[in-house]
Amino acid sequence: MEEDNFIELCNLLKIKWLIPTGGRAKLIIRSGAVKVNGIVETRNKKKIRPGDAVEYDGKTLIFS
């Protein structure tokens, strides 16, 4: 796996869940509504790497 093969959590939410703004994505993350690999994540810039599972709004996405 390449070291630079990641996306920041706030950007992933914005792209995959069609959240209209980065600011809104950050608020959602900080509220504790997002889990990464089953653990609540409140860091906006958490690096999501291939194989990580992101849960939000009753849906799970495996980043690839």
| Residue 2 clears pLDDT 70, i.e. is over it | no
Q: For residue 32, what pLDDT is reported?
A: 97
Q: Which domains does the chain have, with CATH numbers?
A: 7-62 (3.10.290.10)
> What tens digit of pLDDT does each residue of 17-45 get?
888 898 999 999 999 999 999 999 999 99
* All residues at 6 or more sequence positions from 8 whose CB lies less than 8 Å from its CB, including other chains: 44, 45, 46, 47, 48
**pTM, 2 dp:** 0.88
Q: Report pLDDT for 3.
A: 67
Q: Which two tokens stand for residue 44?
A: 């906006």
Report the percentage of the chain scoring pLDDT > 70. 95
